[in-house]
Amino acid sequence: MRFSVSTKGFTDIIDITPEVSDIIKKSKIKEGICSISCPGSTCGITTIEYESGLIEDLKRILEKIAPMSKDYEHCKKWGDCNGYAHIRSALLRPFLTLPIEKGRLVLGTWQQIAFIDFDNRPRKREILVKIISG
């Protein structure tokens, strides 16, 4: 299954838990594994307590690790000045695997699935959800 998300880019962090949960519900699977991925090298998928304070904290920490303003070899080589976005994606990774039990995703009470678009422009992203029974 796939669904799409419109983003603002520049480390736009979006809660995709409702979309993924809905796909699992419709699949009628009871026990298994769910793989969520974003085909692309400038996006990330992780889990976080999705509240505005932490969303801002995550953005600040990522800005320290891979600043947008820094000079990247990628920009010199390709003129494509989103080196920071590729580095952030490599660190956070554009995929996530979660268990499914009793027909539901296994997540903590305050834990949500966060899709992050690091790219330096707004984008429409396809998110792929694969469910394996077992």
Question: Which CB sits closer to Zn ion, 72 or 115?
Answer: 72
| Residue of minimal Cβ distance to Zn ion | 80
Min separation Cβ 77 and Zn ion, Å: 9
- Mark 8-47 with x for binding to Zn ion (rule: CB under 5 A) and - for no binding: ----------------------------------------
Min separation Cβ 88 and Zn ion, Å: 12
Min separation Cβ 91 and Zn ion, Å: 15
DSSP E strands, the chain: 2-7, 12-15, 32-37, 43-48, 95-101, 104-105, 112-117, 123-133
- Mark 54-93 with x for binding to Zn ion (rule: CB under 5 A) and - for no binding: --------------------------x-x-----------
Going by C-alpha positions, the residue among 126, 89, 130, 133 that lies closest to residue 7 is 126
Q: Binding-site residue total for Zn ion (CB under 5 A)?
A: 2
Min separation Cβ 123 and Zn ion, Å: 13
Min separation Cβ 82 and Zn ion, Å: 4
Token pair belonging to 48: 């976080």
Q: How far apart are CA 85 and CA 63, in angstroms?
A: 10
- Taking residue 74's Cβ as centre, other Cβ atoms within 10 Å add up to 16
Q: What angle do CA 84, 124, 58 make, to 5 degrees?
A: 40
Tell how far CA 47 is from the center of its chain: 8
- Binding stretches for Zn ion (CB under 5 A): 80, 82
